[in-house]
Amino acid sequence: MTTETCNLLGLDQAALTAWLAARGQRAFHARQLMAWIYRRRCTNFDAMTDLSMAFRAVLKEQARIVPPELVDTRESRDGTRKWLLDSGTGNRVEMVFIPEADRGTLCISSQVGCAMDCAFCATGAQGFNRNLTSAEIVGQLWLANKLLPPRTCDLPAVSNVVFMGMGEPLANYRNLLPAIRIFTDPLGFNLSKRRVTVSTSGLVPAMDRLSEEGDVSLAISLHAPDNALRDELVPINRRHPVEELMAACRRYIQGGTHRHVLIEYVMLDGVNDTDAHARRLARRLNGLNAKVNLIPFNPYPDARFECSSRERIDCFREILLNAGIMTVTRRTRGDDIEAACGQLAGQVRDRTRHRIGARRLQSEITA
């Protein structure tokens, strides 16, 4: 009878220390292992020469360090890269790297598909299969830094991580939190908490938990200034309406120092982009320490929306700026390889269309 091995990529420092203790190993070995895994990106236990041979034998028998399997790579004319990763049983997820002069941002996935069913998102159209494990989430950043050339001799390629890929991160909270801890641990990837951003469609109870346990940057997929329209575009609004969501945003900001919230607003022609929508949004955000990110809609096969014109987006932005709300228009990156915001679809098979309110989905959110 064989014992299933543990993928160490999924264990934060506390969990790794506990795993070692259960095998009679001392706590300092956790620091050694994390240095090999995250600084040297080593997966071969035999190469970890500062560990005893006996300890290495235990690791080879009971542990592994396995990032997601790379299936395909595509590169955009603007330098954006998209990777397709195997997640088992015919399912595949995507992650995207966006290079800039002063940073490298990795957009990672948290689920195979998504159950949020937002009206304008290709991922939601794929349905939902399962949550990614913490090892599969952490493995995306590990793999990207392994594949990409470093920014400098001392700095890896990825400086920022955004949970804006496939899935609703806060619906996979139990696996999200260990990943965040590894991303920000000095013994892990040593990212600043301000350089890790979790995007959510509005799972209020999990937002409050993240405020206490995660302390990272938060992005809200708002996309409408009122309940009637948001109910149609972002169905989770029927459970947590805009007023409740804005109150949670204020609690999140008050829960830590130097916190702000990023409001994401996709621009849909004739749907949510009028001057009246902009004025209602300005009133909704009044007094909130938030920055608005206007996102030109990126088309995908069978999409039923079109992008607002550049003139309409500029006018919308001007109204918000005049109301004293910091507002920028996101530059579209990677749309020629379907790597832009809202276009990630992966390959989701054996999917179950869990929708908002489904019992299983609720159990995942509150776990």
Band of the pLDDT at 301, cuts 50, 70, 90? Answer: confident
Rounded Cα gap, residues 91 and 100, in angstroms:
30
Helix (H, G, I), strand (E, B) or coil at 49: coil
274-307 residues labelled b (16+ CB within 10 A) or e (exposed): eeebbbbbbebbeeeebebbbbbbbbbeebebeb
Rounded to a whole number of angstroms, the CA Rg of the chain reads 21
Residue of 145 and 339 predicted with greater confidence: 145
Q: Is the pLDDT of residue 4 over 90?
A: no
Mean pLDDT of 231-254: 96
The lowest-confidence range among 20-34, 120-134, 171-185, 230-244 is: 120-134
| Helices within the chain (DSSP H only) | 13-21, 28-34, 53-62, 122-125, 134-147, 173-184, 204-213, 227-233, 242-254, 275-285, 310-322, 359-366
Percentage of residues in the chain with pLDDT exceeding 90? 75
pLDDT at 364 over 50: no
pLDDT of residue 365: 42
Model confidence pLDDT, tens digit, residues 35-89 = 999 999 999 999 999 999 999 999 999 999 999 999 999 998 888 999 999 988 7
Q: Mean pLDDT of all residues in the chain?
A: 89
pLDDT at residue 117 tops 60: yes
- CATH number given to 6-64: 1.10.150.530
Q: Which residues are catalytic?
A: 94, 341
**152: exposed, middle or buried (C-beta count within 10 Å: 0-12, 13-18, 19+)?**
exposed
Q: How far apart are CA 340 and CA 307, in angstroms?
A: 13
pLDDT value for 337 = 58
Q: What is the pLDDT of residue 208?
A: 96
In the predicted model, what is the mean pLDDT of residues 14-29? 95
Fold of 69-366: TIM Barrel (3.20.20)
Share of the chain above pLDDT 70, in %: 90
Q: What whole-number distance in Å separates Cα of residue 59 and Cα of residue 20?
A: 10
pLDDT of residue 353: 46
Weakest-pLDDT range from 121-125, 216-220, 251-255: 121-125
How much is the pLDDT for 125?
74
Q: Where are the domains of the chain?
A: 6-64, 69-366
Residues paired with residue 197 on neighbouring β-strands, in sequence order:
162, 217
Paired sense of beta strands 196-200 and 160-163, if any: parallel
Neighbour count for residue 365 (Cβ, 10 Å): 19
Top-confidence residue, 93 or 1: 93
Q: What does the pLDDT average to over 92-98?
A: 93
How confident is residue 326, by pLDDT bands cut at 50, 70 and 90?
very high
Predicted TM-score (pTM) of the model is: 0.91
Q: Which residue has the higher pLDDT, 348 or 103?
A: 103
For residue 123, name the pLDDT band (cuts at 50, 70, 90).
confident
Q: How far apart are CA 141 and CA 133, in angstroms?
A: 14
Structure tokens at 268: 């849909």
155 has pLDDT over 90 = no
The number of helix segments (H) and strand segments (E) in the chain equals 12, 14
pLDDT in tens, 194-221: 999 999 999 999 999 999 998 899 999 9
What whole-number distance in Å separates Cα of residue 285 and Cα of residue 215?
21
Q: What is the pLDDT of residue 3?
A: 66
CA-based nearest residue to 132, from 346, 358, 355: 346
| Distances, alpha carbon 213 to alpha carbons 138, 207, 256, in Å | 18, 10, 11
